[in-house]
Amino acid sequence: MSYSLDFSVVVARLPELLLACLATIGLSLAGMSLATVIGVLGVIARRSRFRLLRGLVIGFVELIRNTPFLVQIFFIFFALPQLGLRLNPTVTAIIALGLNGGAYAIEIIRGGVDAIPKGQVEAGLALGLHRAQIFRHIILKPALRTVYPSLTSQFVMLTLTTSVCTSIAAYELTSVAQKIEADTFRSFEVYFSITILYLIISSLMMGIFALISRFSFNYPVK
Amino acid sequence: MPQSAAAQVPLIALEGVGKWYGAYHALKNINLTVKKGEKIVLCGPSGSGKSTLIRCINHLEETQEGNITVEGTTLSDSSRSIDAVRREVGMVFQSFNLFPHKTIMENCTLAPMRVKGVSKAEAEATARKYLERVRILDQADKYPAQLSGGQQQRAAIARALCMEPKAMLFDEPTSALDPEMVKEVLDTMIGLARDGMTMICVTHEMGFARQVADRVVFMASGEIIEEGPPETFFSNPQHQRTRTFLGEILAHH
């Protein structure tokens, strides 16, 4: 093999890469927040009395889960401007990640809600609480606790999916790496380095999730 | 209205109540009135409809026939009537149904704060009063999973009492308990009865029925077969089905 490794270019541009890592983490956190909101609201709508609302949620989930993320983000970035809605790459990325993650979150959280024993709802009703109060105060937290492992692994997936946002030139780790590679032709060094950086970011996310779990779901169960 | 007249008006009245699950006729022409302060024990073989009956009173189950009136409010599909009835009636379940993510104190204050809109301080003061009464005030900051079954059921009783209901429904409150914990829950219920609470209890605890009940109501196949004060109910049952049931259940006691 005649290719000799030279990581000095990577070292020289490490500040750029680290800054891009922060951008990736930022996109991920924003995407997850939006996905969580969509997930919870989607589950509420999915349980609504109104058939139209339930149908819309089902349609949304099927649409998102059965089309590629790349096409979804292209649609928002390139197709919506034709209808007069022009968004910058970062906002587009957050919306695309949030919608995509949200569709999966709806299905995951719904599973947790369905697993709540009927007696919990009945106890709430017998105490005079209304459906919305029961969902908010009785169902939501235990349901999220039940599905927390699936939800967070979905969110790690979302974090890694931020790399696809390179395709609309959003500012994040992979797009910065591409630029450095184009400048230096050090493909191996650059992609090896960001592979390690993604690994670190994922581990960091899992650490944060574990911490959140320790503080939010610390009540004992039998 | 004078006090004596008020006492005559039934707190809970079921008139011709019928219920179906699809084609299955779960309750047939149920007529039952409960006066203020009365204690009713509902018994009968499993599947006889006794749990279904009390679950209809606070509209956890819908009925298809007849009327249910609680404290002057007749249940309909309107959420206003359902809310009004649930405000007056507390319920204790076989499986406790405490909220696992909330402490015992939070279990007790949730509904008073969210339904009645009382302040946190006031809700906690009320909760302390009733937790003291069921003798688990020292467990107030624990989570349900940290309590024994008997303590959990007493906490559930306190939670219901915190809404200061006019009547309490008990749905087999001791059936899920280990034998050594049955007594502490029954003692709590006896205390409640002595203090004048109106109660309808679905239970197989015939000792409790003898001690506390003003009337024992026997159900089978969705019908009320007979009812009477415990003395006559146990010593001189009128129907063969009642005799068979009592023979089976008392053989174990």
pLDDT at B251 (0 to 100): 74
A130-161 pLDDT, tens per residue?
999 999 999 999 999 999 999 999 999 999 99
pLDDT at B9 (0 to 100): 78
CA dihedral (B16, B19, B25, B28) in degrees, to 10, reads: -20
C-beta atoms of A126 and B60 within 8 A:
yes
CA–CA separation, B242 and B247 (whole Å): 8
Per-residue pLDDT band for B1 (boundaries 50, 70, 90) equals: very low
Query: Average pLDDT of B59-73?
Result: 95
Per-residue pLDDT band for B2 (boundaries 50, 70, 90) equals: very low
C-beta atoms of A123 and B93 within 8 A:
yes
CA–CA separation, B35 and B39 (whole Å): 9
Average pLDDT, chain A: 96
Report the chain A residue with the minimal C-alpha distance to residue B161: A127
A51-109 pLDDT, tens per residue?
999 999 999 999 999 999 999 999 999 999 999 999 999 999 999 999 999 999 999 99
| Strand B215-220, strand B198-202: pairing | unpaired
pLDDT at B77 (0 to 100): 86
ipTM score assigned to the predicted complex: 0.94
Counting one residue from chain A and one from chain B, the pairs whose CB atoms sit within 8 A come to 69
C-beta atoms of A122 and B95 within 8 A:
no
Per-residue pLDDT band for B253 (boundaries 50, 70, 90) equals: low
Per-residue pLDDT band for A4 (boundaries 50, 70, 90) equals: confident
Q: Please state the domain extents for chain A.
A: 15-216
Report the chain A residue with the minimal C-alpha distance to residue B104: A219
- The whole-angstrom distance between A103's CA and the closest CA on chain B is 27
CA–CA separation, A107 and A103 (whole Å): 7
A15-216: CATH class: mainly alpha
Report the chain B residue with the minimal C-alpha distance to residue A145: B101
B183-223 pLDDT, tens per residue?
999 999 999 999 999 999 999 999 999 999 999 999 999 99
Taking CA atoms, A75 is separated from A79, A118, A208, in Å, by: 5, 41, 32
Which of B102, B146, B156 is opposite residue A220, by nearest beta carbon?
A: B146
Asked if A137 reaches chain B (Cβ–Cβ under 8 Å), the answer is: yes
DSSP secondary structure letter of residue B115: I
Q: Is the pLDDT of residue B5 over 70?
A: no
